[in-house]
């Protein structure tokens, strides 16, 4: 069943092909995709789009100005006019006030800098999180946590061990600090991660998360 159209932003390696491929694999059973890049798109490109998705990758938030100089206003207006935004890792950081400025009274901050964090290193790891109260080990690469008074009105889907939200839905925004879209080769590329792949379980969690986002007004 096709539940909608997702416009997926890709720019290797900052918003990576690997993250994008994982998102497509996790969601394509129920969603169709359109791909766009840093260059401005046709005037009607977003007309049939339900969700704009910005994935994670190998880069930093300083890439934002270069990658979004032609698209910032288009994406911001898309959400303002009723569209949804899905951000994973760096895409979640970019919902913050210094970038797309989509969040209301919520900040996206590095989890490794937060009080009570269980890790101070940004490198790849199988991070403990609590997804709807259930303990999971989820692929992490310098992901964000969410803070601020606006969390009182947001739906928190997952938390880090220190209690900070890791995955939230606030209005038409769905944001995740870790990588539920991760695929087997992500784990095999790191000796300390081998044998720890989630066997598609996290893809199911991501699909359920996006289905819930689609239902928001």
Q: Tell me: the pLDDT tens digits for 30-83?
A: 999 999 999 989 999 999 999 999 999 876 667 898 899 889 999 999 999 999
| Sign of the four-CA dihedral 63, 64, 67, 69 | negative
Average pLDDT over the chain, rounded to whole? Answer: 95
pLDDT value for 58: 77
Q: Angle at which helices 17-27 and 201-215 pack, to 10 degrees?
A: 80
* Range 114-132 average pLDDT: 97
The reply to whether the predicted model has a pTM over 0.95 is: yes
Domain ranges of the chain: 4-215
Answer yes or no: CATH 3.40.50.880 is held by domain 4-215: yes
Q: What is the pLDDT of residues 136-154, one digit of tens each?
A: 999 999 999 999 999 999 9
Cα-based distances in Å from 42 to 46, 56, 100, 208: 8, 24, 20, 31
* Range 101-119 average pLDDT: 98
- Please answer whether residues 122 and 86 qualify as being in contact, where contact means their C-beta atoms are separated by less than 8 angstroms: no
Is residue 162 pLDDT above 80, yes or no?
A: yes
Q: Give me the residues paired with residue 159 across strands.
A: 130, 165
């Amino acid at each position: 069943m096709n539940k909608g159209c997702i416009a997926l932003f890709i720019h290797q390696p900052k918003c990576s092909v690997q993250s994008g491929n994982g998102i497509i694999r996790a969601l394509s059973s129920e969603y169709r995709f359109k791909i766009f890049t840093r260059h401005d798109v046709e005037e009607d490109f977003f007309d049939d789009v339900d969700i704009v998705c910005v994935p994670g990758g190998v880069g930093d938030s300083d890439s934002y100005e270069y990658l979004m100089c032609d698209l910032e206003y288009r994406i911001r207006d898309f959400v303002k006019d009723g569209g949804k935004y899905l951000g994973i890792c760096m895409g979640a950081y970019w919902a913050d006030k210094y970038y797309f400025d989509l969040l209301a009274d919520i900040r996206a901050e590095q989890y490794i800098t937060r009080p009570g964090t269980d890790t101070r290193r940004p490198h790849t790891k199988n991070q403990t999180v609590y997804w709807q109260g259930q303990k999971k080990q989820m692929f992490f690469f310098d992901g964000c946590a969410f803070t601020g008074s606006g969390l009182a009105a947001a739906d928190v889907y997952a938390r880090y061990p220190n209690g900070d939200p890791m995955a939230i839905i606030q209005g038409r925004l769905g944001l995740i600090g870790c990588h539920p879209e991760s695929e087997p080769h992500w784990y095999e590329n790191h000796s300390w991660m081998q044998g720890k792949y989630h066997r598609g379980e996290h893809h199911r969690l991501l699909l359920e998360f996006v289905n819930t986002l689609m239902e928001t007004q």
